Structure 1
Amino acid sequence: MESKVSEGGLNVTLTIRLLMHGKEVGSIIGKKGETVKKMREESGARINISEGNCPERIVTITGPTDAIFKAFAMIAYKFEEDITNSMSNSTATSKPPVTLRLVVPASQCGSLIGKGGSKIKEIRESTGAQVQVAGDMLPNSTERAVTISGTPDAIIQCVKQICVVMLESPPKGATIPYRPKPASTPVIFAGGQAYTIQGQYAIPHPDQLTKLHQLAMQQTPFTPLGQTTPAFPGLDASPPASTHELTIPNDLIGCIIGRQGTKINEIRQMSGAQIKIANATEGSSERQITITGTPANISLAQYLINASSADPDPHGRNIFPA
């Protein structure tokens, strides 16, 4: 795209894609679609939202640069309003920043980062916003997530600068857009948790994941009964520890351990479970993983192990044995 971009913005049509969770999309849509209708009318931008049966949705904003900036401003201020409202019932004293996730073709991310990180550093310093470019591409696409957080004003200035970069450095080659996968059905229940089947794996139902994490964090396997607060009324504060075993193909074990053990340590910390990986056995194509903890610890550890092994199991087996 042959265009010089002035400070005021040009009537250059641009498309920006945002990745949002269901709750964020609900906030943008508003009751009977009133909020998104108002945003479209006042900004002059086209705002399209992908289908609704996915945990994540893509919000596409298209229009002249000035219309896009107005739409972003309205979204950023709406999210800040949501944060303020949620804090009225909270004891937290510091207000979290507004966060937006852009979806950008990977071929443009190099220009956005700049040589030795110079461009992204310049954007951070001049706008006051935090900007992070994901190292990996989103599943089945050639796009990366770019996370922006800060005050609404900082985010608007940051988006302006990102738009300038995108106009000056158009994508190279074909872009395969990221399409969030629909939430899978059916839902199955095991060990008191809801799971959906995605491909060969059982994944905790999206609404269950937060609950799993809260349970896991509040129920460590070796805390005496009665010394922790139950995460949910009616649940024993600290169920007895149990052990669960998985077998993982050797070619996926590296994804789970991570560089110098960083990933497996992260899974241990997040789940609260003890996780032991058996040494490789000669002639075997699998490794055994032993997880010890409460049912909540084990469920979350299973989910995180499954999420880490991003490549499909070449043997076509479910990581979660029946």
Structure 2
Amino acid sequence: MFLFQVGAIIGRQGSTIRQITQQTRARVDVHRKDNVGSLEKAITIYGNPENCTNACKHILEVMQQEANNTNKGDICLKILAHNNLIGRIIGKGGNTIKRIMQETDTKITVSSINDISSFNLERIITVKGTIENMSKAEAQISAKLRQSYENDLQAMAPQTMMFPGLHPMAMMATAGIGYGSRGLYAGQAPYPGIYPAGAPTGAVETPETTYLYIPNNAVGAIIGTKGSHIRNIIRFSGASVKIAPLDESRPQDAQAERKVTIVGSPEAQWKAQYLIFEKMREEGFVAGADDVRLTVEIMVPSSQVGRIIGKGGQNVRELQRVTGSVIKLPEQGAAAATEDETTVHIIGPFFSVQSAQRRIRAMVLQSAAPPTGRQRSRSAAPKEQVSQSSDAPSQAQP
């Protein structure tokens, strides 16, 4: 992802950007709605490495022509990279960045770590030199970013089994800014691949609804001054986040918690919930040495409650053991017979409740998946079908 003044790049009625796309066979996306009022906008380039570099070079040529026409002098290239990548771009004792500068005859600087926050995890790599040399430097920097990203993604793969149905980049987007330094991913260095490495594939985008309960006295911190913090949560996560108002029919001191409704894809859910947990931790809503523990509710089909509980409660006990969260469901057979959905209460720190949510939703999705091959009657169900559901009571099967 790069920063440019985009007017000249887009061209009249988009003619210039179309020409660049056609010539380089790379997709060029201009984030015009970001940083409203700023002259510089982010541009993401998708494609194979060579095409991305060619597109970047064409953009630099357009920018230099515009600078010449307006007497603005030389231009520079600004590359956005996640903070967790910067160490490997700089290298031990600055060796990597020095080598790139020497080989490409450019000057390369990196913005201060003080510029990052929970909502902006990127630093700016600024490259100065001729267009030809800046293009060479960009190719080397992007190659290093891609290599580091792929290495860390591979190292993280075994851990993604804890979170079925969730693309690893959702976890990467939040690791290393609080919980990541001392939680489940301690020692790892994951991050979101939002530079020219391509968009994620296989990500599940089906919207989910989750209810998160926060202490009433924490609502102000979550909302922020004039709504600034909750707007940032919505913007960063891509989820809808709404805090329920106080119930005027009940005394205020009797309302210890407020319900937060979060609607979004699994990735959006992860990010929004993470930022709420993180804010609670920053504000000191912890019990002694324990981490922040909140209650999360998800809705599941009532017909699946028996499957989640398992024979004699063995499934739910295993879920609690593996995830480290407390999971509360209605007594077996008592799941609201008149209701289509039943509430599952999950209590624990962030990574625990995330793991429990993903596992329970995966169980529901697996059960709802259509059978493969020729449809068979229940009486003729194959042995492997029976063995799959043998740990759940018969009345819980759909």
Same fold by TM-score, threshold 0.5 exceeded?
A: no
Report the TM-score range of the alignment, normalised by the length of the smaller protein.
0.3 to 0.5
Q: Looking at secondary structure, tell me which structure has more strand per residue.
A: 1
TM-score, scaled to structure 2: 0.36
TM-score, scaled to structure 1: 0.45
Bigger CA radius of gyration: 2
